[in-house]
Amino acid sequence: MSKATVEIKNADGLHMRPAMLFVDLASQFDSDITVSNGQSSVDGKSIMQMSMLAATCGTKLSIQAEGPDAHKAIDTLRHLVEVQMFNEPAPARRTQ
């Protein structure tokens, strides 16, 4: 088992498109992936459950992976959330 806590850094939070990217990536791994916001834990491969977490910018999520590729899954997902930021702008650079 492998786990990590990540912070949502893109301005618009975990809305539909980021949730889709997360689920698509998570689904590439054999490990079971669970994501929790402290109140509820959901299946990281279900877009319905992930989007219902409604994680806004600044929310901390803990990701837990269990299975043969757990370690790699956590690293890759953390990269998507915190480094790539779902290819979306951070609040400071947000243009309206």
By the rule CB under 8 A, 23 interacts with other proteins: yes
By the rule CB under 8 A, 78 interacts with other proteins: no
Nearest one of 61, 46, 66 to 13, comparing CA atoms: 61
Q: Is 15 a catalytic residue?
A: yes
Active-site pick, 15, 17, 72, 78: 15
By the rule CB under 8 A, 43 interacts with other proteins: yes
Residues binding other proteins: what is the number (CB under 8 A)? Answer: 19
Q: Give the nearer residue to other proteins in terms of CB position, either 58 or 68.
A: 58
Rounded-to-integer distance, Cα 83 and Cα 12, Å: 15
From the number of C-beta atoms within 10 Å of its C-beta (0-12, 13-18, 19+), residue 38 rates as exposed
Catalytic center residues: 15
